[in-house]
Structures are given as C-alpha cells and as structure tokens.
Amino acid sequence: MKLIRSLELKKNRKREGLFVAEGPKVVGDLLQAGYRARMLFSTTERPDAELITEEELHKISFLQHPQEVLAVFEIPASHQSTLTSRLSLALDGIQDPGNLGTIIRIADWFGISTIYCSLDTADVYNPKVVQATMGSLAHVRVVYTDLLELFKTLPPSYPIYGTLLDGDNIYEHQLTDEGIIVMGNEGNGISAEVRQHITDKLLIPDFHTDGLRAESLNVAIATAITCSEFRRRT
C-alpha cells in the first residue's frame, strides 16, 4: 500500500520504474499492448489478479470512485525522438495532467501515433494523466525531448504548424498530410523559442459578431479542432 501511494509523485515513479493505472478499460488496454504488470488487484474474481475488498481498493486508489481494477505497471524504456509517422503532435509546456491525458486520447482518435513533449510538460505516467487517456496511452508513442533539438533534425522544408493568435485562419490555410502540430502551454501558449521554428501559423477563429466571446480555448479542445481539420482536409 505504501509503495502504490508513493507512485503519485514523479520522483518515486522514476526511482521505482513503476506507474499506476485504474479501471478495467485502461488496465485491459495496457495489458493487451504488452505493458508488464508488476501487481494487479481486483474486487471481482479474475485469473490474473489478486482479489481484494472494496475497502482495500479505496485505500490504494487515486480515484474518488475506484473502478474495480488497479494495476502497477513497469515504465517501458524511453522512446527515441525519431520521426515515425507523417503527422505528429508536439506539446510545448503542457502542465495540466487532465489536458495531457485528453490530448493523448484525441491523438489516438485521429490516428496520430506520436506525441513529442517538451521536457517541462507534465509526466505522462502521472495517475491523472493515465486515467484521462482512457487506455489510449497503450496506442500512442509519447516522447520527451528538447523540441528545439528535434526541430533541428528535420528537413528544411518539413512543415511545423503552430496555433497562434497572429496565425492564418485554419479553415482557409493550406494543410498537408505530414508535419508536426505544436500546441502550447495553457497560460502562455507556444514559447518564444519554439515559435521561431513555426513554419505555418494557424488560428482557430471565433464566430461571435457582438464582441462577447470566451477569452480562449482549452488547449485540449483546440487540439481536437486542429486535428479534426487536418484529417478532414488531408
């Protein structure tokens, strides 16, 4: 119990090489994808799990309403930051675990198999991130890397898209079926250093005519809109 609760902190996950996943869907998808479970607990009988009570599950769960199954998985070896898909995402300083997990789920839905994360992006193995992916962590390659160094390895003509307030209307701008789509920090957007590498600036326009509108879009929602438009047009 002490070990599992300690895995809420990144330093402990890194030291132990372990992370927690909860719920039949998330745990099942990770097992099917080949993740190795060090421990597996369930409140219902299943051949691969240790049977525990609801009370015991509440004591080790990170959820307000535990979902029957909890597993402790080994963190797999780090992925290499080489391009493996035609269209990918790059996250520049995403801090909210819920946003990161939702973006992974969005990438999975739109068939984007690789996400490059800046080194200051939230940890993908945070229990809140893992839960928010709803199992999509099993299908998407998440790579932590220096984005500036990554961009230096790209061919000169390789498109790097970024959502910016001074960008072109995404519904009118020419889009390609390859490239990297950069999404920025919740409060500050894309950093100045990364912005210098953007080759195509995109804007998701608002459609209010009376001047009364939301100040901005949540980054996960903006990611969904952007990915949808890319897939619709390419």
Task: Give strand pairing partners of 206.
Answer: none
Q: Look up residue 151 and give its amino acid.
A: F
Question: pTM value?
Answer: 0.93
CA distance 224 to 6: 33
Q: How far is CA 98 from the centre of its chain?
A: 9
Q: Could you read off the pLDDT of 166-225 as tens digits, one per residue?
A: 999 999 999 999 999 999 999 999 999 999 999 999 999 988 767 666 777 899 999 999
CA distance 142 to 76: 11
Q: Could you read off the pLDDT of 70-123 as tens digits, one per residue?
A: 999 999 987 666 676 789 999 999 999 999 999 999 999 999 999 999 999 999
CA distance 53 to 68: 9
Average pLDDT over residues 150-169: 94
Q: Cα dihedral sign for 218, 220, 221, 227?
A: positive
Closest CA to 222 of 195, 189, 196: 189
pLDDT at position 81 is 65
CA distance 205 to 228: 15
The DSSP result for the chain, as a single string, is -HHHHHTTSHHHHHHHTEEEEESHHHHHHHHHTTPPEEEEEESS--TTSEE--HHHHHHH-SSSS--SEEEEEEPPPPPP-S--SSEEEEEES---HHHHHHHHHHHHHTT--EEEE-TTSPPTTSHHHHHHHTTGGGTSEEEE--HHHHHHTS-TT--EEEEEEEEEETTTS---SSEEEEEEBTTTBS-HHHHTT-SEEEE-----SSS---S---HHHHHHHHHHHHHHH-
CB 135 within 8 A of CB 29: yes
Q: Could you read off the pLDDT of 112-139 as tens digits, one per residue?
A: 999 999 999 999 999 999 999 999 999 9
